[in-house]
Structure 1
Amino acid sequence: MPFFAYKGRNARGELMQGVLEGADSGAVAEQLFNTGVTPIDISVTSKVVSASGDDPWWRRLGEKKVSSMDVQLFSRQLYTLLKSGVPIMRGLAGLQESAVSKAFGRVIKDLRESLDSGRELSAAMRRHPEVFSQFYLSMVRVGEMTGRLEEVFLRLFDHLEFDRDMRERVKTATRYPSFVIFAMVAAMVVVNMFVIPSFVKVFEGFHAELPLMTRILIGTSAFTVRYWPALLVALLAGVFGTRAWLATTAGRYRWDKWKLHVPVAGKIILKGTMARFARSFALSSRSGVPIVQALTVVSQTVDNAYLTARVEQMRDGVERGESILRTAAAAGVFTPVVLQMIAVGEESGSLDELMDEIAQMYEREVDYELKTLSAQIEPILIVFLGAMVLVLALGIFLPIWDLGKAALHPK
């Protein structure tokens, strides 16, 4: 939704101004009237309140940005404060003073000022889309509507902790294979640019026909040495072109769909994403969110355009009156065991509990896959390394070997 800059006056006649998100100017005006502010001027703006505030840019160069850990700890602290009966304004003041991150301290300050001007907490957080996700905002809004805000913050803390732990485990498991692949690529570049050209002079002194593999290596090296600027430009163009393509809706959808079919890694991505989906759906359902709205909210947490489309397909089916089991089966991303658990949960009215069980099942599978990831990738890496060594051995050392044999057995 677009953002609107507004000016208005509150009940005391004081001038109020800021930025709000809304479907149109009428919706923004209604928000202002609900908070006791009479709008004077409302205009569309592209400016969004950011965590940087009004500080000069040179002060923010070395400043650490707001991280997911900051939001996670903030959720836990707010839960503790609200549960203890501390007023939210006093609690935010304490969190602002104790904030380790200066950028997040400014965010909390803006939240206090927004609440002081009559806004709801979810509306105040919506002014910082780079800090609070749409799922986070939707859950806070549900907590405000149901009067269970402290419980929602506790569940958000658990959700963010699970999400961060999942991402960290994937990064840890892929660090070693990524390093090996990078080393292989770097070795190929060094061999083509520096090693093979040194052997060319030796081979030219043989005055004999070189083996096919040697001629291929020499030709590849000569092409790389001669046209490396063009190859570098082509590589950069490919990188930026791919990023531009991924920025499109169709490109992102195809890329995310292809990732799920990548050997070894695809099933980990799928199970990790489905664990996040199940956990988010259970959280939304337990918080009292209607199923259609819950599926809309959960689709925003699925970090995959293809799976997001499948969740939205489920939502559309539920809106038409179909059962969750039928829409889940039509989505084609759930295993038969999961579909059976969904059927039991829907029949017994305990879908949130069964979704938690599904999330735990996916988490266990992802944990097992990550533990065995190195064992699954090592054979592939060994094959590629062996092939590269074999090509180099045949191409570089075979002519030298033939020359040695000729010297030992002269005609």
Structure 2
Amino acid sequence: MPVYEYIALDRKGKEHKGIISADSGRMVQDSLRRDGLYPRRIDPLPAQSAPSLSGWRSRLFNRVNSGDLVVAIRQLATLLSAGIPLASCLDSVLQQVKKGGLYRTLAQIRERINEGSSLAAAMEEQRQAFPPTYAAMVRAGESSGTLELVLERLADFGEQQESLKRKLQSSLAYPALILLVSLGVVFFLMSYVVPKVTQIFLDFEQALPLPTIILIQISEVFHAYWWVVPLLLAAAGLALKRMASSSRGRPVLDAWLLRMPLLGSLLHHIVLSRYCHTLGTLLKNEVALLQALKIVRNVVSNSLVQQATDRIIKEVSEGSSLAKPMARGTLFPPTMVQLVSAGEQSGQLDAMFLKVAQNSENYVSNRLTALTSLLEPVMILVLGGIVGFVVLAVLLPIFDMSQLIR
């Protein structure tokens, strides 16, 4: 059904904005007038209704920032805890959001609530914004009458995920900047400075030192075949993308990523942190174990963990304990398996998963600090070595020519 964005006035002259689904603009007008609103402007949303705006363009128009979504959920939980009806809470949140993909998403959820839908069902219809975890937790909260508490926990969960993402981004920002500067300096030296300087030496037709000869050869190769580098990078990126989308290649790629020197252990704990935090949060909000496992299976992106979760779901549904299938293989560390086993025996499985997630987050934080403190000086040394070699190769023939002049 087409979606329309409207601006209307009530009997007191107060402006109302929103989004409504209807078969035509005329039906939108009729619906608004039945609610006591007088439409000033009704516009179809092309990102939702036009078939030509599909794929990446549709995702671009409807993209919802995860950080803004967490803030909106926190506001919604606060308003609900004050005893305000859900539809009124959504109206208040929409006044804060005002525009963008999040506004469209929340406005459509409000329309579905006004039509009698549950919040969980409305969230499931907006899968581009809400992961399956959100809808499952909200459904559990609605069935138990603790929706505001569940939304608070959901906001905590989202803030934790955002914190981990920001930590990764901030840790990698400085090394990435150094790498870009290094590549820029090397490109400038090899494409502009070195050819001009070395041509002067070649004009003298004198014997050149070995470092200068090496530099000239590298410069000539770089000047003639520099286009090969971006071509190879594009080919490698395309090959990795095809491999990642292949059912046979994806497990091989994921296994290689987890075995990478230095970074493999870090990636492994990032996956475990997301896995355990999601599972623990679902269990804490009274989502059934099998349903929680099915949800977390779709949350993690590592195919090896997905395969392991499929095996766990199968054995748990047959009556096995959770820790037993987890103990097979090397994806889940022994410490995690022991904590899960203790949680099953004590009835505190959710708390144990959250504890494992916290341990993994602490490991990631410490590992990132160690890697960045090691990576920064190494990159500076490499850049200094390249520049030093260029300077040495340029100065050596100058010294030789000065000796000849004397």
Place the TM-score, normalised by the shorter chain, in its bin. Answer: 0.7 to 0.9
In the superposition, the TM-score normalised over structure 1's length comes to: 0.77
1:318-357 deviations in whole A, cap 9, x for unaligned? 2343322222221412333222222211222211111222
Q: Are the aligned partners of 1:173 and 1:374 in contact in 2 as well (CA < 8 Å)?
A: yes
Counterpart of 2:349 in structure 1 is: 351
2:218 pairs with 1:194: no
SS in 1 for 2:299: coil
C-alpha distance 231-99 of structure 1, shift in aligned 2 (>3 A): closer
Q: Are the aligned partners of 1:252 and 1:305 in contact in 2 as well (CA < 8 Å)?
A: yes
Q: Are the aligned partners of 2:343 and 2:349 in contact in 1 as well (CA < 8 Å)?
A: yes
Counterpart of 1:278 in structure 2 is: 276
C-alpha distance 278-188 of structure 1, shift in aligned 2 (>3 A): same
Q: 1:401 offset after TM fit, Å?
A: 3.7
SS in 2 for 1:330: coil
Q: What amino acid is the match of 1:176?
A: Y
Counterpart of 1:133 in structure 2 is: 131
Counterpart of 1:152 in structure 2 is: 150
Counterpart of 1:291 in structure 2 is: 289
C-alpha distance 316-385 of structure 1, shift in aligned 2 (>3 A): farther
Matches within 5 A, 1:301-340: 301-340=299-338
State the number of aligned residues.
363
1:166-204 deviations in whole A, cap 9, x for unaligned? 000111111111111111111221111112111221221
Q: What amino acid is the match of 2:128?
A: E
Q: 1:163 offset after TM fit, Å?
A: 0.2
CA distance in 2, matches of 1:388, 1:194: 15
Counterpart of 2:266 in structure 1 is: 268
Q: Are the aligned partners of 1:193 and 1:221 in contact in 2 as well (CA < 8 Å)?
A: yes
CA distance in 2, matches of 1:183, 1:118: 56
Q: What amino acid is the match of 2:198?
A: V
Q: 1:394 offset after TM fit, Å?
A: 4.6
CA distance in 2, matches of 1:249, 1:101: 39
**Once superposed, what is the RMSD of the aligned Cα atoms?**
3.3
Residue segments in structure 1 that go unaligned for 5+ positions in a row:
7-15, 19-48
Counterpart of 2:376 in structure 1 is: 378
Q: 1:244 offset after TM fit, Å?
A: 4.5
CA distance in 1, matches of 2:247, 2:386: 38
2:91 to 81, 90, 93: 93
Q: 1:236 offset after TM fit, Å?
A: 4.0
C-alpha distance 186-381 of structure 1, shift in aligned 2 (>3 A): same
CA distance in 1, matches of 2:305, 2:100: 36
Counterpart of 1:35 in structure 2 is: none
Identity of aligned residues (%): 27
Q: 1:286 offset after TM fit, Å?
A: 1.4
Q: Are the aligned partners of 2:198 and 2:394 in contact in 1 as well (CA < 8 Å)?
A: no
CA distance in 1, matches of 2:178, 2:140: 47
CA distance in 2, matches of 1:314, 1:400: 70
Q: Are the aligned partners of 1:51 and 1:128 in contact in 2 as well (CA < 8 Å)?
A: no
Residue segments in structure 2 that go unaligned for 5+ positions in a row:
3-20, 24-43
Q: What amino acid is the match of 1:360?
A: Q
C-alpha distance 315-401 of structure 1, shift in aligned 2 (>3 A): farther
